Chain A
Amino acid sequence: MVFSGSGGQGVITAGIILAEAAVLHENLIAVQSQSYGPEARGGATRCDVIIAESPIHFPKVIQPNVLICLTQQSYATFFPLLRPGGLLLTDNRYVKLGKKVDARQIELPMYETVMEKIGRPIVFNICMLGAVIGLTKLVRPESIIKVLETQIPLSFLDMNRQALDLGLKLSEGIGD
């Protein structure tokens, strides 16, 4: 899967948290990598995550099953990579979808919900992560929480839990 957006949105952090949760708490194999370089500054940020039950050798994603785009530019850049029949998740405040293609295209008001219910944009990425695991069932929410507990100051933990829940709720009822 590919997480994309712009610098500061926390897409890389979200990808790392998901991959770490898969490895440490789900007994899965995962590899995470990211594109560094000029295009990662102000341009489209990209974080590749591969999760599998068997060893992963080639660490880069060529054709993602799941693509998350949090900016119009990242959508334009990475959408052509999406595997036919794959899942595209976008935030409808940031991304206006183009033509419909052979993919599940899911637009959720993640940013708006976070701002309305929590009022702090810093947990936008965790809300997105909640939606991603809600839609894909890749790891359990508890596994994400366990990783957050080791990485986030105690005073911010509740806010992150709340954001994860918001994301999970947004994804509820969206059928396969």
Chain B
Amino acid sequence: MGGELRFVQGNEACVEGAMYAGLDFFAGYPITPSTEIAELLASRLPLKGGKFLQMEDEIASICAIIGASLTGNKVMTATSGPGFSLMQEGLGYAIMAEIPCVIVDVQRGGPSTGLPTKVSQGDVNQARWGVHGDHAIVALTASNHQDVFSITVDAFNFSETYRTPVILLFDEVIGHMRERLKIPEPGEIPLVERLKTSVKEGVDYHPYLQREDGRLPMSDFGGVHRYNVTGLFHDMWGFPSEKPSVVHELMRHLVDKIDHHVDKMARYREYFIEDAEMLLISYGSSARSALHMVTDRRQHGERVGLLELQTLWPFPAAVVREKTRNARYVVVVEMNMGQMLQPVKAAVEKPERVFLANRVDGVLITPADILNILRLIQGKGV
């Protein structure tokens, strides 16, 4: 790893990751705490021949990236909770029409305009279920800038591999804090490029006809093939269909293409897990507090460990079940009212042993906050 050493904000690490992954097109509407992503890309993208568009709002932003993706570009937009709410309709369309795209949500306090400049992790379930109708989704996060970089590259790779929107769910602390980032050399992290159809001009191309491996090769929209794209249930030509067998098959496909690859997409880090009696599960900036606390208590001989999730959706239930097997207590550390608590409870063998350590006042949960809750669980008082 001999790349350039930088000292940057998390938002800049995301921009660097996106550029590394081959981002061609960004459309967005600036919003705190994600603004630096748009600001930096406005100057960076045109230099490599890419396009930056500031749109009139977030609805237009996601629609613009969907269109640009269809024409063969790697695309991204960035926002925060209020803008992410507006993007849900377009997100559902991208899921249905199977358009690769990356949506960054740098979380702040909500609902509504909430706490514009303060940290929160309140959009975890919005990422999962903000879109109406059954569907699967990919949402990733990270707690340090090196991981922000590589998870951003993963986001582009997953979106191309599975022809799906991928959500990057960062938070205000990660977005704004500065720390070191070593930019990997080109080729150090493998990139997944757009899978293009081998069907020649003048030959019928079926945009939604799966290959044997389940993948759907694309043809640049507006290029040599004419085809239809719709948010309605559709057949292999992309034309609307209400035929029950077509509808059923497409729904299964949309869910299975993600759920069947949970293992391939499960990104996580583990610290002191082997003999941990108390296992913390956390993600994003709260995982930094959890790791601080775990490292400190280990020095005092306490058997605490941390499982840091980077893939939040599809939820890596098998990993969580396996890693929590030997723990007496499991404590989910997050900055919301328990949005990851529920899937963790559903995944473990003893849900009654799962507790929540949270903070929802716009302040980063501290190692002392977590330790106090651990002491309470252990019956030791604070």
Question: With contacts A19-B7, A57-B292, A58-B292 known, is A32 near B117, CB below 8 A?
Answer: no
Q: Which residues of B contact A31 (CB under 8 A)?
A: 177-179
- Cβ–Cβ contact B178 & A32, under 8 A: yes
Any B CB within 8 A of the CB of A60: yes
Q: Name the contact of A16 in the complex, choosing from B178, B291, B364, B367 (C-beta under 8 A).
A: B178
Q: Which residues of B contact A19 (CB under 8 A)?
A: 7, 178
- Give min CB distance, A56 to chain B, whole Å: 8
The B174-231 residues at the A interface (CB cut-off 8 A) are 176-180
Q: Name the contact of B7 in the complex, choosing from A30, A36, A60 (C-beta under 8 A).
A: A30
- Cβ–Cβ contact B177 & A32, under 8 A: yes
Proximity bits, A138-162, B CB within 8 Å = 1, else 0: 0000000000000000000000000
- Cβ–Cβ contact A24 & B7, under 8 A: yes
Proximity bits, A1-35, B CB within 8 Å = 1, else 0: 00000000000000010011001100001111110
Which residue of chain A has its CB nearest to the CB of B174?
Answer: A59
Rounded to whole angstroms, the CA-CA distance of A105 and B141 in the bound complex is 43
Any A CB within 8 A of the CB of B118: yes
Rounded to whole angstroms, the CA-CA distance of A23 and B172 in the bound complex is 22
Q: Which residues of B contact A34 (CB under 8 A)?
A: 176
Q: How many A-B residue pairs have CB under 8 A?
A: 60
Q: Which residues of B contact A32 (CB under 8 A)?
A: 177-179
- Give min CB distance, B12 to chain A, whole Å: 12
- Give min CB distance, B110 to chain A, whole Å: 15
Q: Considering residues A19, A32, A36, A58, which has the most beta carbons from chain B within 10 angstroms of its beta carbon?
A: A58
Q: Which residues of B contact A81 (CB under 8 A)?
A: none
Q: Name the contact of B288 in the complex, choosing from A23, A24, A37, A58 (C-beta under 8 A).
A: A58
Rounded to whole angstroms, the CA-CA distance of A58 and B285 in the bound complex is 8
Q: Which residues of A contact B179 (CB under 8 A)?
A: 23, 29-32, 56, 59
- Give min CB distance, B258 to chain A, whole Å: 31
Proximity bits, B1-32, A CB within 8 Å = 1, else 0: 00001110000000000000000000000001
- Cβ–Cβ contact A57 & B291, under 8 A: yes
Which residue of chain B has its CB nearest to the CB of A22?
Answer: B7
Q: Give chain B's interface secondary structure class.
A: mixed
Which residue of chain A has its CB nearest to the CB of B368?
Answer: A62
- Cβ–Cβ contact B180 & A59, under 8 A: no
- Cβ–Cβ contact B176 & A57, under 8 A: no
Question: With contacts A20-B7, A57-B292, A59-B177 known, is A36 near B364, CB below 8 A?
Answer: no
Instruction: Determine the interface band of chain A, counting residues with CB < 8 A from chain B.
Output: 10 to 19
Any A CB within 8 A of the CB of B75: no
Rounded to whole angstroms, the CA-CA distance of A56 and B177 in the bound complex is 12
- Cβ–Cβ contact A36 & B177, under 8 A: no
Q: Name the contact of B117 in the complex, choosing from A16, A37, A60, A62 (C-beta under 8 A).
A: A37
Any A CB within 8 A of the CB of B173: yes
Rounded to whole angstroms, the CA-CA distance of A38 and B303 in the bound complex is 41
- Cβ–Cβ contact B178 & A36, under 8 A: no
Q: Which residues of A contact B180 (CB under 8 A)?
A: 23, 29-30
The A27-56 residues at the B interface (CB cut-off 8 A) are 29-34, 36-37, 56
Q: Name the contact of B176 in the complex, choosing from A29, A33, A62 (C-beta under 8 A).
A: A33
- Cβ–Cβ contact B117 & A59, under 8 A: no
- Give min CB distance, B370 to chain A, whole Å: 10
Q: Which residues of A contact B285 (CB under 8 A)?
A: 59
Q: Which residues of B contact A30 (CB under 8 A)?
A: 7, 179-180
- Cβ–Cβ contact B173 & A33, under 8 A: yes
- Give min CB distance, B168 to chain A, whole Å: 19
Which residue of chain A has its CB nearest to the CB of B271?
Answer: A57
Any A CB within 8 A of the CB of B161: no
Question: With contacts A19-B7, A23-B7, A62-B366 known, is A57 near B295, CB below 8 A?
Answer: yes
Rounded to whole angstroms, the CA-CA distance of A85 and B117 in the bound complex is 33
Which residue of chain A has its CB nearest to the CB of B108?
Answer: A36
Any A CB within 8 A of the CB of B33: yes
Which residue of chain A has its CB nearest to the CB of B115?
Answer: A37
Q: Which residues of A contact B288 (CB under 8 A)?
A: 57-59
Any A CB within 8 A of the CB of B289: yes
Q: Considering residues B180, B285, B289, which has the most beta carbons from chain A within 10 angstroms of its beta carbon?
A: B180
Query: 4 other contacts beyond A24-B6, A60-B366, with CB at 8 A cut-off?
Result: A19-B178, A37-B118, A57-B291, A59-B288
A sample of 5 cross-chain residue pairs with beta-carbon separation below 8 angstroms, ordered by A number, consists of: A16-B7, A30-B7, A36-B172, A58-B367, A59-B285
Ranked nearest first, the 3 interchain pairs of A and B with the lowest CB-CB distance are A57-B292, A36-B117, A58-B292
